[in-house]
Amino acid sequence: MPAQKTQYKKEVALTKPDFWKNNKRYYDLKSYWRNLFGCTVHKLQIDAGFTCPNRDGYVATGGCIYCDGRGSKLRQQGPLPSVTDQILSGKNYYTPSASKFVAYFQTFTNTYAPAEKLKVLYDEALAQEDVIGLSVGTRPDCLPPEVIDLLAGYAQKFHVWVELGLQSVHDKTLKYLNRGHTYPQFLEAVNNLAGRGMNICVHIIIGLPGENDEDVHVTARTLAALPVGGIKIHSLLALDGTPMGKMYREGSLQMITQEQYVSRTVDVLELLPPDVVIQRLTADGYRDIFLAPAWAANKLNVLNAIHKELERRDSYQGMRYK
């Protein structure tokens, strides 16, 4: 396990988790928001035109080796609509199934700009009717004090998530992926965010080259000890036009099976605290450039397999959390 420790200790009472009452075996985002706000809440995806420091040359070039460098579909179609127009379009899609919305700044690194520019974009999103908060996707190395102060200010009035791309706690893996940051930098970001009123969500990938079951367990146990409020679990995808897609086409990339993915995902759920919100259990999208693994193309089938494995084990999120 990485030697660095957070200054904050996460403590969760070891009682039967509340989601068990609703025949749930993990704490999903929909249930979390309904418990918190008493209504259905949806994220509205926003592409605000950012890039990444491992893409533009600041810390590296080329981006993460698994990442689709084209950005969102909106970006591929031409000039980006305004934040307001993107939110209105998203609301029209989800209404009337949702009554409240969270503006999700998703594409690339959404704090990779001066705080003054970020404030203009975030203010525009929060000014829209029925938008109750922000979810900001970013990197551990793109959270300077002034940006954290900005986000903490919003958290005093709005529901705020900061989504940190990590993928793995193992620095050898991060280097292989061309992430351009380290686990200690991630830990520093978590410590700086903790106690400021924001919720922290961490993205991890299962099936990374060179990682076995124990490597994934170490990532889960490490995150379980941190003040993390949410997790997104992604399956590794080989996408055309990416370095990883090239490796797959050349036969040098071995993908894990669905059975391995399901088993590792359930292991992670068991090791996490029961109050951590599971925001995602598998990857989806990218139909036009998807290469492998074939099983990952059927998201519903993967989710059903995860649910069946939880039932087979008679298990649930937090069962092995210590």
Query: Does residue 178 lie in a domain region?
Result: yes
Residue 10 has pLDDT above 60, yes or no: no
Can you tell me which residue has the tokens 């992926």?
Answer: 177
* 116 Cβ contact list (under 8 Å, min separation 6): none
Query: Does residue 291 lie in a domain region?
Result: yes
Where on the phi/psi map is residue 89: left (φ > 0), alpha (ψ -120 to 50), or beta? alpha
pLDDT tier at 307, thresholds 50, 70, 90: very high
Query: Does residue 32 lie in a domain region?
Result: yes
Question: Which CA distances in Å does 262 have to 37, 127, 205, 280?
Answer: 31, 41, 13, 13
Coil, strand or helix at 237: coil
The type of residue at 237 is L
pLDDT tier at 11, thresholds 50, 70, 90: very low
Q: How far is residue 257's CA from residue 193's CA, in Å, rounded to a whole number?
A: 36
**Residue 120 is encoded by which pair of tokens?**
């203009």
Tell me the helix, strand and coil percentages in the chain, rounded to 5: 40, 15, 45
Task: With beta carbons less than 8 A apart as the criterion, state whether 133 and 201 touch.
Answer: no
Residue 247 has pLDDT above 50, yes or no: yes
Q: What is the pLDDT of residue 22?
A: 67
Query: Does residue 90 lie in a domain region?
Result: yes
| Residue-number span of the structural domain to which 137 is assigned | 18-313
Query: Does residue 294 lie in a domain region?
Result: yes
Please compute the mean of the pLDDT values over residues 54-76 and round it to a whole number: 89
Which residue from 38, 154, 153, 39 is spatially nearest to 103, judged by alpha carbons? 154
Average pLDDT, the chain: 93
Query: Does residue 298 lie in a domain region?
Result: yes
Cβ-count burial 86-119 (b if 16+ within 10 Å, e if not): bbeebbeeeeeebebbbbbbbbbbbbbbebeebe
Query: Does residue 147 lie in a domain region?
Result: yes
Q: How far is residue 98's CA from residue 39's CA, in Å, rounded to a whole number?
A: 8
Question: Which CA distances in Å does 198 have to 135, 151, 190?
Answer: 10, 8, 11
Query: Does residue 5 lie in a domain region?
Result: no
Residue 96: asked if its preceding bond is cis (omega within 30°), the reply is: yes
Domains: count for the chain? 1
Domain with residue 197: its CATH number is 3.20.20.70
Residue 65 has pLDDT above 70, yes or no: yes
Give the model confidence (pLDDT) of 150-188 as tens digits. Answer: 999 999 999 999 999 999 999 999 999 999 999 999 999
Residue 24 has pLDDT above 90, yes or no: no
Please compute the mean of the pLDDT values over residues 199-218 and round it to a whole number: 98
* 66 Cβ contact list (under 8 Å, min separation 6): 177, 205, 236, 237, 238, 239, 242, 243, 244
Question: Which CA distances in Å does 286 have to 89, 96, 121?
Answer: 21, 27, 26
Share of the chain above pLDDT 70, in %: 94
Look up the pTM and report it: 0.93
Give the model confidence (pLDDT) of 27-38 as tens digits. Answer: 999 999 999 999
